A = this chain, B = another copy of it.
């Protein structure tokens, strides 16, 4: 499975969204995706792990999952070739600029 297929699944995108806020133990992710059973979530996490979109760190009997967003660059690169084709691409770009300036004070 590649990154494109990995993010094609809505539940997996939801997991990534949750991990974008902060890292979380698996159980917390299971609690949030309450329409799915624990094994289902665990399997989605495995897939995200396999494509490198998340990292796991053991913490006692827990597993702490964390986002590794840089694997999304593959998609970013593919999609960037198309930006010039949609009408107001400069607007989107400017929005991005102001957004990153606000939110990443590093």
Shortest distance from the beta carbon of A23 to any chain B beta carbon, whole Å: 12
Q: A28-36, A42-50, A57-65, A89-97: which one contacts chain B? A: A89-97
**B89 close to A100 (CB less than 8 A):** yes
Q: Tell me what chain A mostly uses at the interface: helix, strand, loop, or mixed.
A: helix
**A86 close to B99 (CB less than 8 A):** no
Please measure, in the bound complex, the distance between the C-alpha atom of A50 and the C-alpha atom of B67, giving whole angstroms.
32
- Measured CB to CB, the nearest residue on chain B to A103 is B84
Shortest distance from the beta carbon of A3 to any chain B beta carbon, whole Å: 9
Write the residues of chain A forming the contact surface with B, with a CB cutoff of 8 angstroms. 4-5, 7-8, 10, 13, 16-17, 20, 67, 69-70, 72-73, 75-87, 89-90, 92-93, 96-97, 99-100, 103-104
